[in-house]
Amino acid sequence: MSFNKFMLFFIELIVIIIGIFTIFKIVKDLEVAIGLFSLSFGVLAIIWTFMAVNSLSKGSSLRTYAISFLFCLIAILLFSIWNLFIKLFQWEKSLVYPSYFFITISYIIFVFTAYKMHKLGKEFGFEAQALGIKKILRKKKKP
């Protein structure tokens, strides 16, 4: 690692630590502070996934899976934001149900994507290679 990359990494680490400290210093409610902290990682995950989607070839399977992953992240982020609103505005008894909608949408997208991945594996015959690898590993384990 070059000196410039090390310094950049060090500066980024300090900024992250200062940001974490600031969140917990400004926000007195621990649950809200943790919610904001987790939201920051959710936003970062969405940014990186969006950049990954843009770097992948249009029409490729990997880009399709990255887009599905992006939609899941967005649904999970909306779930987290809604839960934070529930805590901030004390909606515990009246507006809890929409959070279930966001997390259910995320699960549905995960199921759809997993099915597509399974179908792709069957199409290209990865299952047969996986079984062959398992047989070889079992033979190696036996004395």
Taking only the tens place, the pLDDT of each residue in 89-131 is 887 777 888 888 999 999 999 999 899 888 887 777 766 777 7
The distance between the two most distant Cα atoms of the chain, rounded to a whole number of Å, is 64
Q: Which two tokens stand for residue 68?
A: 């599905």
Predicted TM-score (pTM) of this structure: 0.70
What are 103-107's contacts with CB under 8 Å, separation 24+? 103/75, 103/76, 103/79, 105/75, 106/72, 106/75, 106/76, 106/79
Q: What is the mean pLDDT of residues 60-88?
A: 91
Q: Which residue has the higher pLDDT, 135 or 70?
A: 70
Closest CA to 107 of 79, 141, 137, 135: 79
